[in-house]
Chain A
């Protein structure tokens, strides 16, 4: 837990020596609490205080980064149980499981590696591969490295992992897994090769015991596998682990890995893992029809609720509009945009959709806040050169801002202003019946 300024003050020398450039230790403590200065600015702070302050400043869930040549997948640093409390930060990495023995390894990896899908203007791809050491891992990794640069999870016993680690030296892979039977050997391996390590046990107690033991051997980057075998068990376990971590149980303050690849319904298990606290998710194979919805779900759940996704203001073409097609106006709040765009798209009717910069607010909210007025609408119509694209100078306003139509006419001489329906769902009928 972060300490308050007063709590920090108690750990400082309280001599008001001013060498930190602040007038008093209390002032310095306040700045520390606000994270505006570094503790290093105080030359006299005791080692014990340093340790306590460092611990309090550490995030409750350690940030674990898997690295390969130039690419990185991060998990951890989360601070809440519900996304509305703040936001979820590091999107869980989606890994595809492959077998070292697979004769088509290079090709399978290359196909999944090349996957790219676009969602509201963003390109998504998978994050890495989990390699099962059912044959020589060293050879397999050399093959994999001809097909992908993405980070790896290596799955096997200490003896079979060793050649794999040699084959990817310089990287930070994630090893699976240390349990009660092999914790020492796995910890040694992780330490020697600077790898991150999955710790596997079937209760929070047993997990904490193992992480403490392994941490004592100098391995810091740990990931928890709670070995849950049902949706219910996974939800319970992940919730308990996240809660305990947020209550500053350091021994459990690590990201969680989930293996939907072994679940009865992989898609559902992966969706639950994304919504409920997994930092890494391993899938059984490359299936775009599942990857795409999972990548979208991940984006949705990890969207900062304070900063809704906005759409780029501009003129959008729907169903290949022609010069005589109608011009619809809306705001750049993503849900508003998609509500309108989807209805029009679904109707099959061509239209130009002018998205104004309303600072990411919906029509009514933006109107109330003065971010969607005649001036802004006129600016958009002029700025996006709408007149050059259409033969019929006529715009359709959302029904909720019917009150603006007079002002818009004044701002846009020569344009006809019509008032459309209040709700996007009524647009197709309006376009069919009223506009034609």
Chain B
């Protein structure tokens, strides 16, 4: 019985956005990475090809994060004391992008130095996050943006309360921005509009709809991403940006991943559970439309990378 498979044809599409610049493109990256460009829902190859694979970014920090789970401290080891070493190890672990997260203890000098040393140590395109306090973010990100002009870094994290300075310096120095809003379709749109209204070219915005880890609100992030992607495909220009989410950050702050003692026996082996927590959170988000997932553990990276390989083949 021949059945007509219903196929959706959408009026809209996701913007293809390139992160990082090679020497030919005015930067120093070994290669640039393009995400987005989809014309249908994730990995439905019978409707349209997947033009660009989702990319795994590994999060490293400018200083050793003593509050990270012992599992992460153990796996990255000594490299955590030196962002350049850590960047190299992250590249070896299979990262397609790096996230360098700065801390409040960093001086401007420290921060610029950390960014430059990471750029020197690895040819991967780079995302730089401020420590997450508005004043400090601006204080650090502006000199970094200037010192790395033309590299097409992604600067973050822009939020509704603090985006102007970051957007302005990204515009002036040829970088991109990461625009984060708290799990809400309209707030996402609104921030994208505010950033675009400043004159930021639309091919230099990644939107970060925020997510929760498995068990800690993933269903909200999951559905908001599905809805954003549907809105984009239906033609809503202010949702047509690739999505970046941080399952590594979210998963590794849960008790399930972070700690191995004093937890119920029914949670099973600590390490395997922790990796599952990060991996499954990331995969659910990739299925709902994530273009960049920021992870922390090399084993999750390997598993998610293999799975992406399997998903993008028609």
Name A's B-contacting residues (CB within 8 A). 82-84, 115-120, 204-205, 208-209, 212, 230-232, 235-236, 239-240, 243-244, 247, 249, 251-252, 264-265, 267-268, 271-272, 275-276, 287-294, 296-297, 300-301, 303, 305, 334-335, 338-339, 342, 345-346
A360 to chain B, nearest CB (A): 13
Q: Tell whether, in the assembled complex, residue A231 and residue B310 are in contact, meaning their CB atoms are under 8 Å apart.
A: yes
Partner of A84, one of B226, B265, B303, B306: B226
Most chain-B CB neighbours within 10 Å: which of A267, A276, A289? A289
Question: Given A117-B266, A264-B306, do A244 and B219 touch, yes or no (CB 8 Å)?
Answer: no
Interface string of B153-189 (1 = CB under 8 A from A): 0000000000000000000000000000000000000
14 of the cross-chain contacts (CB-CB < 8 Å) are A82-B223, A83-B223, A119-B215, A240-B5, A265-B303, A265-B306, A268-B279, A276-B287, A288-B267, A289-B273, A301-B219, A305-B219, A335-B220, A346-B253
Q: Are the C-beta atoms of A117 and B303 separated by less than 8 Å? A: no
Segment 244-302 of B: residues with Cβ below 8 Å from A: 253-256, 258, 264-270, 272-273, 276-277, 279-280, 283-284, 287-288
**Interchain CB contact under 8 A, B268 and A243:** no
Of the candidates A118, A120, A209, A294, which one forms a contact with B264 in the assembled complex, judged by CB atoms under 8 Å apart? Answer: A118
Instruction: Return the chain B residue nearest A271 by Cβ.
Output: B280
Closest to B229 in A: A82
Q: Is the CB of A117 within 8 A of B264?
A: yes
* Cross-interface CB contact of A268 among B215, B219, B268, B307, cutoff 8 Å: B307
B39-47, B80-88, B235-243 - interface stretch: B39-47
> Given A204-B5, A294-B280, A346-B255, list of 10 further CB < 8 A pairs?
A82-B223, A83-B222, A232-B310, A232-B312, A267-B303, A268-B307, A275-B287, A290-B268, A290-B272, A335-B212
Cβ-defined contact, A235 with B267, below 8 A: no
Residues of A within 8 A of B306 (CB): 264-265
Q: Once the chains are docked, how many angstroms separate the CA of A38 from the CA of B243?
A: 48
Interface of B, helix, strand, loop or mixed by DSSP: helix
Distance A433 CA – B270 CA, assembled complex (angstroms): 32
CA distance A118 to B270 in the complex (A): 16
Q: Shortest CB–CB separation between residue A121 and chain B, in angstroms?
A: 12
Q: Which residues of A contact B258 (CB under 8 A)?
A: 346
Question: Contacting B215 at CB < 8 Å: which of A205, A244, A265, A300?
Answer: A300
Q: Which residues of B have CB within 8 Å of A301?
A: 219, 222, 284
Interface check B214, CB cutoff 8 A? yes
Task: Tell whether, in the assembled complex, residue A232 and residue B219 are in contact, meaning their CB atoms are under 8 Å apart.
Answer: no
Q: Are A82 and B230 in contact (CB under 8 A)?
A: yes
Residues 207-230 of chain B: 1 if any A CB is under 8 Å from the residue's CB, otherwise 0? 000001011111110110011001
Cβ of A247 and Cβ of B312 under 8 Å apart? no
From residue B150, how far is it (CB to closest CB) to chain A in Å?
34
Q: A84-B226, A236-B46, A288-B268 are in contact. Are A293 and B310 (CB under 8 A)?
A: no
B267 and A271: CB pair below 8 A? no
B16 to chain A, nearest CB (A): 21
Q: Answer whether residue B1 sits at the interface, using C-beta atoms and an 8 A cutoff.
A: yes
Q: CB < 8 Å: which of A117, A235, A244 contacts B3?
A: A244
Q: How far is the CA of A218 from the CA of B228 in the complex (A)?
A: 44
- Minimal beta-carbon separation of A272 from chain B (angstroms): 6
Most chain A beta-carbon contacts within 10 A, residue among B215, B220, B230, B277: B215
Closest-CB distance, B196 to chain A (whole angstroms): 26
Chain A residues whose C-beta falls within 8 Å of the C-beta of B310 in the assembled complex = 230-232, 264
Q: Give CA–CA (A247, B303) in the complex, Å.
A: 35
Chain B neighbourhood of A275, CB < 8 A: 222, 284, 287-288
Question: Within the complex, what minimum Cβ distance (angstroms) separates B115 from chain A?
Answer: 24
What is the CA–CA distance of A272 and B307 in the complex, to the nearest angstrom?
A: 11
Interface size class of B (residues with CB under 8 A): 35 or more
User: A residues within 8 A CB of B254?
Assistant: 342
A residues in contact with B223, CB < 8 Å: 82-84, 305
Q: Complex Cα distance A423/B215, Å?
A: 19
Inter-chain contacts of A267 with B (CB < 8 A): 276, 279-280, 303
**Do residues A293 and B43 form an inter-chain contact, with CB atoms below 8 A?**
no
Bound together, the chains give a CA A346 to CA B43 distance in angstroms of 37
B311 on interface, CB distance cutoff 8 Å: yes
Q: Are B212 and A265 in contact (CB under 8 A)?
A: no
User: Are B218's CB and A239's CB within 8 A?
Assistant: no
Determine the chain A residues whose CB is within 8 A of the CB of B45 once the complex forms: 232, 236
Interfacial residues of chain B within 36-57, with CB under 8 A of chain A in the complex: 43-46
A292:B5 contact, CB within 8 angstroms:
no
- The complex places the Cα of A276 from the Cα of B289 at a distance, in Å, of 13
A116 B266 Cβ-Cβ under 8 A: yes
If A84-B223, A265-B306 touch, whether A239 touches B284 (CB-CB below 8 Å) is no
Question: Which residues on B sit within 8 Å (CB–CB) of A264?
Answer: 306, 310
Q: Are B268 and A297 in contact, CB atoms less than 8 angstroms apart? A: no
Residue of A nearest to B288 (CB): A275
What residues of A have a CB within 8 angstroms of the CB of B314 in the complex?
232
CA distance A297 to B43 in the complex (A): 21
State the CA gap A391–B26 with chains docked (Å). 64
Find chain B residues with CB under 8 A from A276 CB: 287
- Contact residue among A293, A303, A339 (Cβ-Cβ distance under 8 Å from B280): A293
With both chains docked as a complex, state the minimum distance between the C-beta of B48 and any C-beta of chain A, in angstroms. 12
Question: When the two chains form their complex, are residues A243 and B218 in contact, meaning their CB atoms are under 8 A apart?
Answer: no
Determine the chain B residues whose CB is within 8 A of the CB of A342 once the complex forms.
216, 253-255
CB contacts (< 8 Å) of A235 on chain B: these are 43-44, 287, 311
**B212 and A117 form a contact (CB under 8 A):** no
A232-B45, A236-B44, A342-B255 given as contacts; is B268 within 8 A of A289 (CB)? yes
Complex Cα–Cα for A289 and B273 (A):
4
Cβ-closest chain A residue relative to B6 = A243
CB distance from B151 to the nearest CB of A (A): 30
Q: Tell whether, in the assembled complex, residue A272 and residue B287 are in contact, meaning their CB atoms are under 8 Å apart.
A: yes
In the complex, whether B313 has a CB less than 8 A from a CB of chain A is: yes
Instruction: Give, as a whole number of angstroms, the nearest-CB distance from A346 to chain B.
Output: 6
Q: In the assembled complex, which residues on chain A have CB atoms less than 8 Å from the CB atom of B304?
A: 268
Which A residues are in CB contact (< 8 Å) with B219?
83, 300-301, 303, 305
Bound-state CA distance A244–B7 (Å) is 10
Q: Are B269 and A289 in contact (CB under 8 A)?
A: yes
Q: Is the CB of B255 within 8 A of A296?
A: no
**Docked-complex contact B273 and A292, CB < 8 angstroms:** yes
Residue of chain B at shortest CB distance from A289: B268
When the two chains form their complex, are residues B279 and A345 in contact, meaning their CB atoms are under 8 A apart?
no
**A239–B226 CA distance with the chains assembled, in angstroms:** 14
Partner of A300, one of B2, B3, B214, B277: B214
Residue of B212, B214, B254 with most partner-chain A CB within 10 A? B214
How distant is the Cα of A387 from the Cα of B5 in the complex, in angstroms? 64
Contact status B5-A271, CB under 8 Å: no
- Residue of A120, A208, A268, A301 with most chain B CB atoms under a 10 A cut-off: A268
